[in-house]
């Protein structure tokens, strides 16, 4: 690569390795799905037909194509990635944790070899103790990071403690934790090792996590189709109509282009450009998803009611509740596709942005772990944004049963704006003699969704991760509010005259 290419792209392995982990996870998920599909083909003709029909529908197919693209990118980038080291850490992932081992040292031992089943880089801390006086010889890092012989004197009853957090180097040198022990007491001794281990590259946990997310999403959708066939039929028909519309394709293209352009925009934040990029991209994806959700809900429900199409659908063995719930799910599916596709692109660009900023600032080349952390810490923001879009979609579906397109969009945009202002109204400390501002804030907080719960600006600004428990509570809030909105939608639609 020429000088200009090096300045633009940096060291390829630095920002490609984190994205390789995602692609490897997608490949693993596809492999699991392929094996499961093969077993189904061998055992059940009926279930095979069901799976074939589902794969031809408008949701699973693009999801699998996205996973295949990620897997292909990982395969292509493999020569630039330390694949062997990453796979070794992946294999050792289940065994990480505690290290407890006892070795018997012979009374006349002068050079007894002891090897721990752990790589030196995997040790977090280690305590070595013995019931007799022992001398341990081992290879350690020298001052200039070269191997040199070290010696530990183990006094009976006095443990030797080592911690990676307080030591500059690993306790052992090389790829194997091996030592030679001399028993200077003249009696048989028990040498005990106790400590904690971690993977050499704990980031490899992203591989099984990505695979589990892909398999879980596919299985969840298939279970939905099997349990609610009529609702699923309406939902898939709605989803196909939406994704075929030029509006959806334009929104997707604009979002994909903007995410790439934002990488090269100078934010002038004195080293905090990555944070600004994360906030800008997440907010962009959320707002594009909300546009798709509001437009789809208005067009597919209000438009079909006014155009008498809904009456034709309801003349079939599909009830009003199934029709409306199917429309709601049909609105959510394109939103989910938008989050998956643009979200994957966003994560890839975040990894590259770290390297790009280092090159722009003439800083040292970052490690691939430095690129991995901001990439993965952005995932909760995408999840929270999806929850926000689902809630607004539920509100829009409820309004679409009674209001036309323009009125629906105006009300939903007002809900979106006020939903973000509710905390400011509730916590406002301006002079409120009659308590009107506080009352209005409490009223809005009771009626409108508090969308400020789904922002992660504070987390990004402080550089702290979003806890899983917070994602869990926001999911509960999203489900509760969406359920209330859909119950209102069903009540409004139940006696709506469609003739």
Report the alpha-carbon distance of residue 136 to residue 140 in Å, rounded. Answer: 12
Q: How far apart are CA 306 and CA 396, in angstroms?
A: 16
Residue 33's nearest CA partner among 69, 64, 72, 58 is 64
Residue 152: strand, helix, or coil: strand
Q: Supply the pTM of this predicted model.
A: 0.85
Q: How far apart are CA 249 and CA 342, in angstroms?
A: 12
Q: Give the domains, in start order, of the chain with CATH numbers.
A: 97-197 (2.60.120.10), 228-494 (no CATH)
Tell me the per-residue pLDDT of 260-276, one tens digit each, with 9 for 90 and over: 999 888 877 766 788 88
| Cα Rg, the chain, nearest whole Å | 29
Q: Measuring CA to CA, which residue among 197, 205, 128, 202 is closest to residue 164?
A: 197
Q: How far apart are the first and last CA of the chain?
A: 68
What confidence score (pLDDT) does residue 430 get?
Answer: 58
Among candidates 491, 492, 286, 294, which has minimal Cα distance to 381? 286
> What element of type H or E holds 112?
strand 112-116
What are residue 95's phi and psi, to 5 degrees? -95, -5
**CA–CA separation, 311 and 316 (whole Å):** 9
Q: Tell me which residue of 125, 172, 124 sits closest to 152, measured CA to CA.
A: 172
Q: Which pair of structure tokens corresponds to residue 409? A: 């969009």
Give helix 12-43 / helix 83-91 axis angle, nearest 10°: 50
Read off φ and ψ for residue 178, nearest 5 degrees: -130, 150
User: Would you say 456 and 381 are in contact if contact means Cβ atoms under 8 Å apart?
Assistant: yes
- How many helices (DSSP H) and strands (DSSP E) are in the chain? 18, 8
So what's the pLDDT on residue 432?
61
The segments of the chain whose pLDDT lies below 50 read 1-7, 143-144
DSSP string, 432-472: -TT-HHHHHHHHHHHHS--GGGG--HHHHHHT-PPPHHHHH
Distance from CA of residue 67 to its chain's centroid? 14
């Amino acid at each position: 690569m020429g000088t200009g290419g090096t300045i633009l792209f940096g060291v390829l392995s630095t920002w490609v390795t984190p994205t390789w982990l995602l692609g490897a996870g997608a490949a693993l998920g596809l492999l699991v799905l392929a094996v499961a599909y093969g077993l189904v083909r061998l055992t059940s003709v009926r279930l095979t037909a069901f799976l074939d029909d589902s794969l031809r529908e408008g949701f699973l197919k693009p999801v699998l194509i996205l996973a295949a693209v990620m897997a292909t990118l990982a395969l292509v980038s493999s020569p630039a990635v330390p694949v062997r080291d990453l796979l070794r850490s992946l294999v050792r992932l289940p065994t990480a944790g505690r290290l407890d081992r006892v070795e018997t040292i012979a009374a006349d031992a002068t050079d007894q070899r002891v090897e721990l089943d752990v790589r030196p880089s995997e040790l977090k801390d280690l305590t070595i103790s013995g019931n007799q006086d022992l001398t341990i010889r081992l290879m350690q890092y020298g001052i200039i990071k070269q191997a040199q012989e070290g010696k530990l004197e183990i006094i009976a009853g006095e443990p030797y403690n080592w911690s990676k957090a307080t030591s500059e180097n690993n306790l052992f040198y090389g790829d194997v934790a091996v030592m030679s022990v001399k028993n200077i007491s003249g009696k048989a001794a028990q040498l005990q090792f106790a400590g904690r281990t971690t993977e050499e590259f704990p980031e490899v946990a992203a591989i099984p996590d990505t695979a589990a997310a892909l398999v879980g999403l596919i299985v969840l959708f298939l279970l939905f189709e099997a349990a609610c066939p009529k609702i699923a039929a309406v939902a898939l028909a709605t989803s196909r109509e939406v994704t075929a519309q030029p509006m959806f394709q334009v929104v997707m293209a604009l979002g994909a282009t903007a995410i790439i352009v934002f990488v090269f925009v100078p934010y002038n934040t004195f080293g905090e450009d990555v944070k600004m990029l994360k906030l800008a991209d997440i907010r962009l994806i959320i707002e594009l998803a909300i546009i798709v959700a509001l437009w789809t809900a208005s067009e597919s429900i209000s438009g079909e009611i006014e155009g008498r199409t809904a009456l034709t659908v309801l003349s079939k063995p599909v009830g009003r509740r199934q029709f409306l719930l199917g429309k709601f799910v049909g609105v959510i599916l394109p939103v989910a596709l938008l989050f998956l596709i643009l979200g994957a692109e966003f994560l890839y660009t975040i990894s590259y942005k770290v390297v790009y900023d280092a090159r722009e600032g003439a800083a040292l080349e970052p490690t691939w772990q430095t690129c991995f952390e901001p990439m993965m810490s952005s995932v909760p923001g995408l999840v929270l944004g999806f929850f926000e879009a689902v809630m607004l979609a539920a509100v829009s579906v409820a309004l679409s049963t009674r209001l036309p397109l323009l009125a629906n969009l105006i009300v939903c945009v007002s809900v979106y704006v006020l939903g973000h202002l509710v905390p400011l109204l509730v916590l406002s400390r301006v002079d409120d003699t009659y308590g009107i501002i506080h009352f209005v804030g409490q009223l809005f907080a009771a009626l409108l969704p508090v969308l400020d719960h789904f922002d992660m600006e504070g987390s990004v600004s402080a550089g702290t991760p979003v806890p899983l428990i917070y994602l869990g509570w926001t999911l509960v809030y999203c489900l509760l509010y969406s359920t209330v909105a859909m119950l209102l939608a069903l009540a409004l639609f139940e006696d709506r005259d469609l003739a």
